[in-house]
Amino acid sequence: MAIRRILVADDEESIRWVLSKALAKQGFAVDLAANGSEALELFRRNSYEMAVLDIKMPGITGLDLLSKIQEERPEVLVVIMTAESSMKNAVEAMKRGAYDYITKPFDLDALDAIILKAQKASKVTEEVHRLKEELKEHHQLDRSIIGQAKPMQEVYKILGKVAPSDATVLITGESGTGKELVARAIHYNSPRLGKPFLAINCAAIPRELLESELFGFEKGAFTGATERKIGKFEQANGGSLFLDEIGDMPLELQAKLLRVLQEKEITRTGSSTTIPVDVRIVAATNQELKDRVKAREFREDLFYRLNVVPIELPALRERRDDIPLLVEYFMRRVHEEQQVPARGCTEETMNLLKSYSWPGNVRELENTLQRAALLSPDQLLTPVDFPALLESNSVEEAEGSLESLISNKLRSSLAQMDVQELDNLYDMVLHQMERPLIKIVLEKTRGNQVRAAEILGINRNTLRKKIQTLGIDLKRD
Ligand SMILES: Nc1ncnc2c1ncn2[C@@H]1O[C@H](COP(=O)(O)OP(=O)(O)OP(=O)(O)O)[C@@H](O)[C@H]1O
Ligand SMILES: [Mg+2]
């Protein structure tokens, strides 16, 4: 925790005055208390990173306060001010967990040195904490990008070339195609690995908030700005910032963003100081940004500035061959992460999964498999475990065997019937097969029944009878 706000407690007004001046000048927020109970009240009401307490105050003493702080919020660093004469007190303070002590009358430099030391230590702690978090996240998100299909190989090629640079990348693709996954992969494969990767969704946050989130503001910049806020650009300094759904960024903010990208510096709202930032931008959109540019909803100059390296992610239906790989991968993940037994798919299921159109792309596949794996009692998942797909009419006639296609169609038709009520299902279904089959063969033979009977391997008379009973229209247009 970096030191931002400091509580100073001393019953001597001159000391309070000197400390508040000196600390405020260094940019800290300072609150002053003239005695122990005031200090305790302030401490409980606000959040401080450091407290500088006089050891000798009427009523609640600095040592008492120290104990209370240690009890309630041990992470707050406490510096005790003691009179030079009483070394014993200093020792006692340290024993009770004070961070450090200074002796009065003191030199402001001594306090500076303590704060500096604390800042450095907190930076290290913060860094360690952040690295740990990031490692954890990295581990969790060691979500390799799965896929070997041509369009994915194109993606890997660009990714490999662009990741090590600082180039701005614009990732496009339908929802659920892995834009965020690719954005992270770019960061983790860049020299910025180990520095923050921050994401912000421009569509999910209202305009005014989005500006604050990105650029931050100074205390008092507007009503309600009671504390300084550090924006994502500053937080991501040295790392990467993922601007998701960039197409939804309001025009005014686009102008501000463009300036930041060009100048490589930001200005917090309510401040006139510019702060240099070194941030790599990865943006993503599932809209046609060019169309938005035409409609004057997206700045053309910003579009070109962002679109330095475009990466286009294919829809899942454009890379159906990757589906078995993805299925295997997600099954393994559910198994490992959710204590679900290891599961597989029947061939028929795989064909169903391969023929569905997946409007929600990989995310939909992932969720669908998770649900099926959690709910199915069987070790091998069958099409029945995917009722949503069976009912959907977006199962397309994709590659896959004729049998599996028919099987899928049949399953979905039957799902809509009350099978218990039927008594001639076999004939009904076979007739539905026969009619198109005979029609197609007759088309191919241009109505030549002799030839058609040969191809079908049935008797000419049988064919003639079937044409009658099935009511096949022989007229050709
Ligand atoms: N190629 C892939 N390999 C493995 N997992 C993937 C792949 N693509 C996407 N995923 C997974 O699918 C889910 C959705 O991916 P992601 O959030 O990156 O999509 P997105 O394109 O950002 O979607 P949206 O536009 O809806 O935000 C995530 O759980 C992600 O891990
Ligand atoms: Mg996303």
Q: Per residue in 251-282, pLDDT tens? A: 999 999 999 999 999 999 999 999 999 999 99
Is the CB–ligand 1 distance for residue 177 below 6 Å? yes
> Range(s) for CATH 3.40.50.2300 in the chain?
5-120
* Ligand 2 mean position, distance from CA 284 (Å): 8
First vs last C-alpha separation in the chain = 81
Minimum-distance ligand 1 atom for the alpha carbon of 360: 26
Question: What value does the mean pLDDT take over residues 221-235?
Answer: 90
Residue 328 alpha carbon to ligand 1 centre in Å: 16
Residue in 433, 374, 364, 363 with CA at minimum distance from that of residue 394: 364
- pLDDT per position as a tens digit, 288-303: 899 999 999 999 999 9
Residue with tokens 């931002």: 4
Architecture in CATH for domain 141-314: 3-Layer(aba) Sandwich (3.40)
Check residue 58 and give its pLDDT: 87
CATH number of 317-416: 1.10.8.60
pLDDT per residue as tens digits for the range 127-175: 777 776 666 555 544 568 999 999 999 999 999 899 999 999 999 999 9
DSSP character at residue 120: H
Instruction: Say if ligand 1 is within 6 A of residue 287 CB.
Output: no
248 lines ligand 1 (CB under 6 A): no
Quick one: CA dihedral 79, 81, 84, 85, positive or negative? negative
Q: Which class is domain 5-120?
A: alpha beta
Name the percent of the chain in helix, strand, coil, to the closest 5: 55, 15, 35
Looking from the CA of residue 182, the nearest atom of ligand 1 is: 18
Ligand 2 geometric centre to CA of 173 (Å): 10
What's the mean pLDDT when you consider all of the chain? 88
Q: Whose CA is nearest to atom 10 of ligand 1?
A: 178
Looking at the chain, which residues constitute the CATH 1.10.8.60 domain(s)?
317-416
Question: What is the atom index within ligand 1 of the atom nearest the CA of 141?
Answer: 31
pTM value surpassing 0.85? no
Selecting from 3.30.300.130, 1.10.10.60, 3.30.365.10, 2.40.40.20, what CATH number does the domain 425-469 have? 1.10.10.60
286 C-beta closer than 6 A to ligand 1: yes
**Ligand 1 within 6 A of 314 CB?**
no
CB atoms within 10 A of CB 102: 18
What's the pLDDT score for residue 294? 93
Q: Which of 395, 371, 358 is nearest to 174 (CA)?
A: 358
Nearest CA to ligand 1 atom 15: 178
Predicted confidence band of residue 477 (pLDDT cuts 50, 70, 90): very low
Distance between CA 403 and CA 433 in Å, rounded?
Answer: 12
Instruction: Tell me where in the chain the CATH 1.10.10.60 domain(s) lie.
Output: 425-469
Judged by its nearest atom, the ligand closest to the C-alpha of residue 171 is 1
The residue whose CA has the least distance to atom 8 of ligand 1 is 178
Whole-angstrom Cα distance, residue 9 to residue 52? 6
CA of 128 to the centre of ligand 1 (A): 29
Residues near ligand 2 ion, CB 5 Å cutoff = 180
Q: With a 6 A CB cut-off, is 239 part of the ligand 1 pocket? A: no
Specify the residue with its C-alpha closest to ligand 1, atom 12: 363
User: Where are the domain boundaries for CATH 3.40.50.300 in the chain?
Assistant: 141-314
Report in angstroms the alpha-carbon separations of 71 from 67, 68, 92.
Answer: 6, 5, 16
Give 291-339 pLDDT, tens digit per residue: 999 999 999 999 999 999 999 999 999 999 999 999 999 999 899 888 8
* H-type alpha helices, 218-360: 232-235, 251-263, 289-294, 300-306, 323-338, 347-355
For residue 286, which atom of ligand 1 is closest to its CA? 25
User: Which residue, 89, 100, 94, 114, is CA-closest to 22?
Assistant: 114
* Beta carbons within 8 Å of 113's beta carbon, 6+ residues apart: none
